[in-house]
Structure 1
Amino acid sequence: MTTRRGFMASLLAASTLPRLSWADAGSPAYLGAAKDASGAYALIGLDDSGQALFRIALPERGHAATAHPSAPEAVAFARRPGTFALVIDCASGRLSHRLDAPEGRHFYGHGVFVAEGNVLCTPENHIESGTGRIGLWSRPEGYRRIGEIETGGIGPHDILRLEGDVLAVANGGIRTHPESGREKLNIATMRPSLTYLTPEGEILEEVVLDPDLHKNSIRHLAQGPDGTVAFAMQWQGDVMDPVPLLGLHRRGGRPRLLSADLAEQLAMEGYAGSVAMSGDGRFAAITSPRGGRVHRFDTESGACHVVRRSDVCGLAPAAEGFTATDGLGGVLRVTDGAEPLAAHEGLAWDNHLVPIHV
């Protein structure tokens, strides 16, 4: 477990770090992992028009990254169940640190910074027990691991930092074990949840779906300007059951689940790959690479606008609407329709497009 002393030590050590900004890396708007035609993997910085600003090689397939809130630094995570994460100086293109999950742990492909960017939080699986943990790493101390906390659930896939350093965690509810690869070991008894907790490990609130939706794994998170958390789900039951795949939640309230019409819900094949909220909070959207769909919902009325795009998955807010990426190298702007922004020939974008907020 961590202590307040560990956080204070990280803050003190931070005063000695050099002060670079994302402008030193070309002021990218997004980070995305991709595979090129040769089979090589890379982390790529994009501007808001979808053009590449930098490309940094990765040794294996990346899932997502987290961007430091001010320094031009990204942590790229291996695809679940990965055991390493790479800290990359995006200004120089240099690998500065490699984080290895402690024995008996693996990462889930996501992370977030708290404590003014001085502590990295990494969702992890405690393999022996199956319980979710958040690893805590001190950036000013060369990413020394300073503790861990429990998430109150199984399979903590994604994580957000909310106002006041409150953490929102998507406990997917699915137990896995590296010896079984990506096999899901507890579908009949899974219990997904959205939990809110402090970096010291105090659980502030837990949101659990109705029992008939206990197979709806809460996987990915996004937040709106008013503190609303949007969560994307992946259904582990019969894909012919048209269950909701997007939820909205405000702390202290009940979750609100949104669905498209029957045909569109079926087209999603029970799988939402990414989620984002627009900068003004008016819209929330999810993608399905399996269904080739973007579903954009009005957060007040619940009305759904559909964009069809083959193998679309990455999604992030833009100045107007959303930016999305697909497995064919495409970058597009999603508003009332889909506007192509860029085509990166030979690239296959991976699951997520990470916005850089500065």
Structure 2
Amino acid sequence: MRNRRGFLAGLLAASLTPRLSWADAGAPALLSAGRAPDGAYFLYGVSHQGAPTFRIPIPDRGHAAAAHPDRPVAVAFARRPGRFAVVLNCVTGAEIARLSAPEGRHFYGHGMFSPDGATLFTTENDFEAGEGRIGLWDATAGYRRMGEVSSAGVGPHEMRLMPDDRTLVVANGGVETHPDSGRAKLNLPVMQPNLAYLSLDGAVLEVVQMPPEHRQNSIRHLDVSGDGLVAFAMQWQGEETELRPVLGLHKRGAAPRAVPGSEIEMRAMNGYGGSVAFFDGGAQVAVSSPRGGRVQLSNVTTGRIAQSVEIEDVCGLGLLGGRLLTSSGTGQLQWIDGASLSRARIAWDNHLIPINAG
């Protein structure tokens, strides 16, 4: 009887223990990796006012992160070809788990949770087969590896959840790599990027490719508007003398389209799209270029570039209260309208990840 009473008392205590939320981590709106002045690497929370709310050490240079929808938990991912993915308690700073990609795999710097927070999805490289995979991890059981599905392409990078909460869109960059070759790109003459739409259980619903002249325009980063329009940032892998746009748009059932701009506008981006984000209620879309040192803003309906804003080493884009925030490797957090929030001694690296807390 004593054991039973102790068991029941434990259940009661557990039921009375308050469940931690993102508010307990300082109510951050965004996550970003960054490098401190002493060279150490951290995952940071960024408040609605653009100030750091926490910082947690990570093993090496980070790229992006995934935020749990309900709990103050984040997964920090290494910059390719780094191997780490660490699950962090953003209140205590404790490491909950360290994910190890299966043999013959490595992560691609991005991941996301299912809407209920039960499953973590990670983009991965099956580098012996030269194929993309989506890893499935059980967030309710210590982040146990449950399995994997095909990404329906090569070199999957970022993925996003569509508005129906049942479909993933995956940016398959098309570039084959192998850890033995560092960051070398092994298949540029025959690469073929695509956008793949998958059900949450891995069924391939739709795959679209850009026209042949964009075959070497690697699709890397994504955003999705409320009506299901997908914006994608591209990185040109062909001859440097050839100009290609770095922004594209796609609506399921239609052909993808590029947002080209003039020769001057395309040259200014240096063939490199870093991040992409809708704003202005989805009427406009922004794409950044750290190599070009600027952000271009385009009208979604007309497909025309409306404005170009110069910001040194800019990459991260995030929406705060309807306003577009940018981050840069120089430590700048700046609204796209030019108002500077802060210049921290943090080299922001590379993306601003929204926390869609329930």
Task: Tell me if the contact between 1:132 and 1:152 (Cα under 8 Å) persists in the aligned partners.
Answer: yes
Task: Tell me if the contact between 2:177 and 2:183 (Cα under 8 Å) persists in the aligned partners.
Answer: yes
- Paired letter, 2:172: N
| Residue ranges of structure 2 left out of the alignment (5+ in a row) | 1-14
Task: Tell me if the contact between 1:83 and 1:105 (Cα under 8 Å) persists in the aligned partners.
Answer: no
Q: Secondary structure at the match of 2:136?
A: strand
Q: Which residue number in structure 2 is paired with residue 108 of structure 1? A: 108
C-alpha deviation, 1:115, in angstroms: 5.0
Q: Which residue number in structure 2 is paired with residue 320 of structure 1? A: 322
Q: Which residue number in structure 2 is paired with residue 28 of structure 1? A: 28
C-alpha deviation, 1:265, in angstroms: 0.8
Structure 1 segment 221-236 matched on structure 2, within 5 A: 221-236=222-237
Structure 1 segment 16-55 matched on structure 2, within 5 A: 19-55=19-55
Deviations 1:130-151 (A, max 9, x none): 1000000000000000010001
Identity of aligned residues (%): 50
Task: Tell me if the contact between 2:59 and 2:84 (Cα under 8 Å) persists in the aligned partners.
Answer: no
Task: Tell me if the contact between 1:49 and 1:342 (Cα under 8 Å) persists in the aligned partners.
Answer: no
Distance change in 2, residues 1:202/1:147 (3 Å):
same
Match of 1:311 among 305, 309, 313: 313
Q: Which residue number in structure 2 is paired with residue 8 of structure 1? A: none
Q: Output the CA distance in 1 between the equivalents of 2:298 and 2:338.
A: 15
C-alpha deviation, 1:18, in angstroms: 7.5
C-alpha deviation, 1:279, in angstroms: 6.0
TM-score, normalised by the number of residues in structure 1:
0.92
Q: Mean alpha-carbon deviation: is it higher for 17-26 or for 246-255?
A: 17-26
Task: Tell me if the contact between 2:115 and 2:165 (Cα under 8 Å) persists in the aligned partners.
Answer: no
Q: Which residue number in structure 2 is paired with residue 84 of structure 1? A: 84
Deviations 1:30-76 (A, max 9, x none): 11111112110011111122111111111211110011111111000
Q: Which residue number in structure 2 is paired with residue 351 of structure 1? A: 350
| Residue ranges of structure 1 left out of the alignment (5+ in a row) | 1-14
Q: Mean alpha-carbon deviation: is it higher for 117-126 or for 257-266?
A: 257-266
- Paired letter, 1:98: R
- Paired letter, 1:209: M
- Paired letter, 1:148: E
Q: Mean alpha-carbon deviation: is it higher for 58-67 or for 234-243?
A: 234-243
Structure 1 segment 158-177 matched on structure 2, within 5 A: 158-162=158-162, 163-177=164-178
Is residue 191 of structure 1 aligned with residue 192 of structure 2? yes
Q: Secondary structure at the match of 1:338?
A: coil
Q: Secondary structure at the match of 1:280?
A: helix
Distance change in 2, residues 1:240/1:48 (3 Å):
farther
Is residue 200 of structure 1 aligned with residue 191 of structure 2? no
C-alpha deviation, 1:342, in angstroms: 1.1
Task: Tell me if the contact between 1:294 and 1:307 (Cα under 8 Å) persists in the aligned partners.
Answer: yes
Q: Which residue number in structure 2 is paired with residue 182 of structure 1? A: 183
Q: Mean alpha-carbon deviation: is it higher for 307-316 or for 256-265?
A: 256-265
Is residue 251 of structure 1 aligned with residue 264 of structure 2? no
Q: Output the CA distance in 2 between the equivalents of 1:306 and 1:277.
A: 15
- Paired letter, 1:70: D
Q: Which residue number in structure 2 is paired with residue 262 of structure 1? A: 263
- Paired letter, 2:140: P
Q: Which residue number in structure 1 is paired with residue 272 of structure 2? A: 271
Is residue 147 of structure 1 aligned with residue 156 of structure 2? no
Distance change in 2, residues 1:192/1:26 (3 Å):
same
Q: Output the CA distance in 2 between the equivalents of 1:104 and 1:135.
A: 13
Q: Which segments of structure 1 move beyond 3 Å, counting only runs of 4 or more?
A: none
Q: Which residue number in structure 1 is paired with residue 341 of structure 2? A: 341
Q: Output the CA distance in 1 between the equivalents of 2:46 and 2:57.
A: 15
Q: Which residue number in structure 1 is paired with residue 8 of structure 2? A: none
Q: Which residue number in structure 2 is paired with residue 69 of structure 1? A: 69
Task: Tell me if the contact between 1:149 and 1:199 (Cα under 8 Å) persists in the aligned partners.
Answer: no
Q: Output the CA distance in 2 between the equivalents of 1:279 and 1:62.
A: 29
C-alpha deviation, 1:351, in angstroms: 1.3
Task: Tell me if the contact between 1:113 and 1:161 (Cα under 8 Å) persists in the aligned partners.
Answer: no
Q: Output the CA distance in 1 between the equivalents of 2:340 and 2:261.
A: 24
Q: Output the CA distance in 2 between the equivalents of 1:284 and 1:18.
A: 40
Q: Which residue number in structure 2 is paired with residue 5 of structure 1? A: none
- Paired letter, 1:265: M
Aligned-residue CA RMSD in angstroms? 1.5
Q: Output the CA distance in 2 between the equivalents of 1:220 and 1:197.
A: 16
Deviations 1:165-203 (A, max 9, x none): 211100000000000000000000000000001122210
Task: Tell me if the contact between 1:278 and 1:318 (Cα under 8 Å) persists in the aligned partners.
Answer: no
Deviations 1:235-283 (A, max 9, x none): 0012332211111111111112112321121011100111111161111
- Paired letter, 1:350: D
Q: Matched residue pairs, number?
A: 340
Task: Tell me if the contact between 2:235 and 2:273 (Cα under 8 Å) persists in the aligned partners.
Answer: yes
Q: Secondary structure at the match of 1:159?
A: strand
Is residue 125 of structure 1 aligned with residue 125 of structure 2? yes
Task: Tell me if the contact between 2:69 and 2:115 (Cα under 8 Å) persists in the aligned partners.
Answer: no
Q: Output the CA distance in 1 between the equivalents of 2:37 and 2:25.
A: 25
**Larger radius of gyration, structure 1 or 2?**
2
- Paired letter, 1:331: L
Q: Output the CA distance in 1 between the equivalents of 2:213 and 2:249.
A: 18
C-alpha deviation, 1:302, in angstroms: 2.2
Q: Output the CA distance in 1 between the equivalents of 2:65 and 2:115.
A: 18
